[in-house]
Chain A
Amino acid sequence: MSSNVRFTDFKSDKQPTWCPGCGDFGTMNGMMKALANTGNDPDNTFIVAGIGCSGKIGTYMHSYALHGVHGRALPVGTGVKLANPDLEVMVAGGDGDGYSIGAGHFIHAVRRNIDMTYVVMDNRIYGLTKGQASPTSRSDFETSTSPEGPKQSPVNPLALALASGASFIAQSFSSDALRHAEIVQEAIEHDGFGFVNVFSPCVTFNDVDTYDYFRDSLVDLKDDGHDPTDYEAAKSVILDSEKEYQGVMYRDENAVPYGEAHGVTEDMTEIGEGAPEDAMDLVREFY
C-alpha cells in the first residue's frame, strides 16, 4: 500500500453516463476519497458492483472489480474477502439490488459480519429500468408500475440490518460530500461488516425524494450527541419514522468478524505445483 495514493487514482478513464445531477456521482466520489484516506490503492482494492444505474460504479472506478448479476454482489464480496483477507473489499449497488432481489443475501451478509464495506445507493426507485417502485419507495409514490403508489410500507434497511445483528449501521447523503466520505471511511475502518445506506437521488425518475427534500429534512447524528455504541439509542433513531438521519447509527466494537471467528485470516490463493505434501494422509483415512 502506497501512502501517496490520491483519490483520483480510483477513477477510471471511462466517463460516467449517469444523468447530469445523479446522486451516484457524489456517492462514488466519497467512496474514492474514503478508500484513499484509509491507505488503499487500486491494486489491493476489490469493488463488487450490483446491477442498476448504481452498479455502473464498477466501470467508473479503477480497481480490481466485478460487475455481477442483479442482487448477488454481497456473496461475491464474501468470497473475495475470505479467499484473500488482505484485500480491501467494497460492495456497492442499488436499493432494488440490495433490498429486493438481493434481500436474502443482505440479511445473511449482515449476520456473517465479514470485514467489508457495503454501500447502497438508495434513490428509492428503479433507475436503470426507468422508474418503477423500489422496496424503499414511499407507499403513495406513483410510478409506471404503481400508478396509485405501491400501497405497501417501504422497507427500513437500517432496521433490517439491526434485526439481523449488524455490527455497523450508517446512513449518508451523496451531496453532503464531506460527511458522506467521512461516514464511508468509518465503515471501511470498522472491523466487520460496514453498512452504509446512502441517499443518492435519482433526478430523472424520483421527484419526491429529491436533493431539496433531503437537504431540508436530514438530521446529522453528529450534531445530535448520538452515541453509536448505545444499542437502545441506535434503535430509537433507526425506528424513528418521523425523521431522516445521517451519521453512524450503530457500531458494535466487540463484534468478532467472520474471518477471525473462523480462523480465516490468510490469503488462500497460493498453492503448490502438486498435491499438498501430506495428502496421502487423506487416502489413509479411508483404510
Chain B
Amino acid sequence: MPADFNWAIGGEAGDGIDSTGKIFAQALSRAGRHVFTSKDFASRIRGGYTAYKIRTSVEQVQSVVDRLDVLIALTPRTIEENLSELHEGSVIVYDGDRTTMQNVEIPDGMVGLDVPLKSLAEDAGGAIMRNVVALGAACAVTDFPIENLDSALQKRFGNKGQKLVDNNKQAARLGRDYVTDEYDHEFDYSLETTDSDYVLLNGDEAIGMGALAAGCRFYAGYPITPATNVMEYLVGRIEHYGGHVVQAEDELSAINMALGAARAGARSMTATSGPGIDLMTETFGLVATSETPLVIVDVMRSGPSTGMPTKQEQGDLNQMLYGGHGEVPRFVLAPTTIDECFWKTVEAFNLAEKYNIPVYLTADLALAVTEQTFEPEAFDMDAVEIDRGKLVDEDEIDEWLDESGHFRTHAITHDGVSPRAKPGTAKGAHMSTGLEHDELGRRTEDTQMRVEQVDKRNRKVESAIERESFDYREYGTPGADNLVISWGSNEGALIEALELLEADDIDVHVISVPYIFPRPDLSAEINAAENVIVVECNNTGQFADVLEHDALCRVDRINKYNGVRFKADELAERITDTLADTAPAEVSQ
C-alpha cells in the first residue's frame, strides 16, 4: 500500500463540511497528489453528523482505510464518531472558543490543537470562513505549501469576486500562522508535492461527462439522492452542445420524455435511484418492446422503499435484470471505477443504438459520490467513438420498405436488429407500440408473429455476445485456488486487500465484473477454483445467485448491508475468515 495520509473534517450537516473538504481535496490534487474521498453523511438537512474524508498519496489510491491522521472536528460528536480510526500521534484541530467544544477531551497520545477558528475568520473578513482557517491550520500540521490551497480557493470562489478569494486566502494564512506560532511541535506529517496535473471528479460527474461525450443531447430527470448530481452536472453544459435538460414532474414523466426524445432520434438519458427505477418500470417494458435506444442510469442507494437514502448498497441488481412484467431483453452495465463510469456511459449509448435496446447503467452510491484523481488522459476524448447502429436515412430506406411502401421498423432480421428511421425521414413514417406488433409496428395477436418478434428481440442478445467483448478485469494471482469475484465499487478495496492477504501468504485471484448482462462466462474460472467468494454490498448476494446459475455450482458470499462501503483491511479479514470456514478440516497428526 502506498504511504498514505488520511484527513477528515466533520461537523453537522449544514456546516459546509462537503465544500470545505472538496477544497482541500482540490488543493491536494493541484499539488500533484492522488486523492480518494469518502463521505459520511446522515442526511441533507441540518442536524445530522457529516464528515468528508480524504485519503491521499503520491501514488494512486482507490479505497478508504480505518485510519485518521488529522481530523478537523467542528463538533464533539465528530471525535466520538472517529475514535476507532484515530491513533497515537493523530492531530485534532478544534475551536475551543465554541461553547460545545470547550470541555472537549483529547484522547491520550493524540495532539489537540485548539485554534480560534471563528475569531480568526472574523479577523479575515467573516465568521463564515472558519472552515478555511481550519484548512490553513491543516497546512501547517502537514507541511503543505499554502499556495496549493490558494489555487483551490480561487477555483471555488473566483466567480464571486476577487475580494472574497483574497479574504479566504487570508483566513487560511491566519490559521496556518496561528499553529506555527502557538504550537512549537514537530508534527509527524509532511505532504510531498509532485509536478503531476490530475483531474478530480466523482462517479456522477463521470457519467454526465460520458453522456456529453457520447452525444447525449436530451436528459429528463426528477431529483433524487444520489443521482441528482448527474442532472446538476448536465444543466449548464449540455446546452453548449445544443441539448437540453428537463426537470420532469416525476419519474414516470422523466422516462417517458426521454423515450420521446429517443423516438425522435436524439441520444437520450434519464438517471434516478431505486424509488425512481420502481416508478419507471412500466415504461421500461415499453422502451424495450418498442425497441427504443435509451440509457437509464440507476445510482443505487440502500433500499427497500426510502431505505437509507444516503447510504451505500448494491441492492438493485435483480430489479434491473428482471424488473417489469413479461419478458424482454435489456443490457445492464455496472462500472467499477470512476473513470470507467465515463467509458461505460459512452459504451451504453453505443450499445443502446446498435441493438435498439434499453441499457441500464448502474453505479453504487460509493462510486457516485466519491471523488478521485486521475490523469486527464484517462478521459481521452479522441478515443470516444459513436456508433448509431442501423439508423437509416432517405437513401437507405427503400431497402426496408414492404411491398406497399411501409417502413418495417420491427423487421424480423437474422441478427435480431431492426432498422430505425428518424421522424422527418421521407417514406419512413411508422408507428410503434407497447402492444405486441408486426414488422410495421402495428398491433397483432397472430401466434406466429408473436413468436417471431419475441425470438427476434432475444437474438439481439446473442448477436451482442458474438460481436462485443463483455470483459472483466483480473488482479492478484490468476489460477490461484482462491477466487474472489466482485462488481461495482468494491474493486478498489479488493485490490488493496490483496496486498494484505499476500502478506499473510494467502494467494487470491480477483475478478471484477463491469457487465451484469450480458456478462462474461466465468463458469470455467469458478469451477477450476477451490474456493469461490462473491463480494457485494447487499444482503442476499444477488450477483452470487446469477453466477451460481451460470456455473451450476455453489459459491461463498461476503455481504455487507449496513450502509457502509467495504474497506481493504475489513475485506482481507473477511476473506481470510471465509477461507478458514470453508477449508477442509485438518486431520490431526
Residues of B within 8 A of A43 (CB): 423-429
Main secondary structure of the interface of B (DSSP, over half): mixed
CB-based contact B423/A46 at 8 Å: yes
Interface residue from A64, A72, A74 paired with B430 (Cβ < 8 Å): A64
B442 on the A face (CB < 8 A): yes
CB-based contact B266/A269 at 8 Å: yes
Given contacts A43-B427, A65-B431, A274-B384, contact A83 B218 (CB under 8 A): yes
Interface residue from B199, B250, B423 paired with A283 (Cβ < 8 Å): B199
Interface residue from A80, A104, A286 paired with B263 (Cβ < 8 Å): A80
Residues of A within 8 A of B205 (CB): 286
A43 to B250 CA separation, bound complex (whole angstroms): 31
A283 to B237 CA separation, bound complex (whole angstroms): 12
Q: Spell out A's residues near B (CB within 8 Å).
A: 12-14, 42-48, 58-59, 62-69, 71-72, 74-84, 86-87, 104-105, 107-108, 262-264, 266-269, 271-276, 279-280, 282-284, 286-287
CB-based contact B442/A282 at 8 Å: no
B264 on the A face (CB < 8 A): yes
A8 to B557 CA separation, bound complex (whole angstroms): 64
Min C-beta distance of B215 to chain A, whole Å: 4
A105 to B430 CA separation, bound complex (whole angstroms): 25
Among B199, B220, B430, B433, residue most surrounded by chain A Cβ atoms (within 10 Å): B433
Assign chain B's interface to a size class: 35 or more
B97 on the A face (CB < 8 A): no
A43 to B197 CA separation, bound complex (whole angstroms): 51
Given contacts A63-B429, A66-B431, A84-B266, contact A76 B423 (CB under 8 A): no
Min C-beta distance of B527 to chain A, whole Å: 41
CB-based contact A78/B431 at 8 Å: no
Which residue of B is nearest A271, CB measured? B215
Min C-beta distance of B29 to chain A, whole Å: 8
B283 on the A face (CB < 8 A): yes
Given contacts A43-B424, A283-B376, contact A66 B197 (CB under 8 A): no
A282 to B430 CA separation, bound complex (whole angstroms): 38
Main secondary structure of the interface of A (DSSP, over half): mixed
Among A75, A107, A276, residue most surrounded by chain B Cβ atoms (within 10 Å): A75
CB-based contact B283/A69 at 8 Å: yes
Residues of A within 8 A of B434 (CB): 67-69
Q: Which of B242-293 contact A (CB under 8 A)?
A: 242-244, 246, 248-250, 252-254, 256-268, 282-283, 285-286, 290
A268 to B256 CA separation, bound complex (whole angstroms): 17
Interface residue from A74, A268, A274 paired with B242 (Cβ < 8 Å): A268
Which residue of B is nearest A70, CB measured? B282
B209 on the A face (CB < 8 A): yes
Interface residue from B260, B379, B381 paired with A76 (Cβ < 8 Å): B260
Interface residue from A44, A267, A286 paired with B201 (Cβ < 8 Å): A286
Beyond A75-B254, A272-B215, 14 additional contacts (C-beta under 8 Å) are: A43-B428, A59-B442, A66-B433, A76-B259, A78-B257, A79-B218, A79-B264, A269-B266, A274-B385, A275-B214, A276-B215, A279-B384, A283-B209, A283-B376
Which residue of A is nearest B426, CB measured? A43
Interface residue from B256, B264, B381 paired with A279 (Cβ < 8 Å): B381
A57 to B366 CA separation, bound complex (whole angstroms): 47
Min C-beta distance of B382 to chain A, whole Å: 7
Residues of B within 8 A of A72 (CB): 252-253, 256, 283
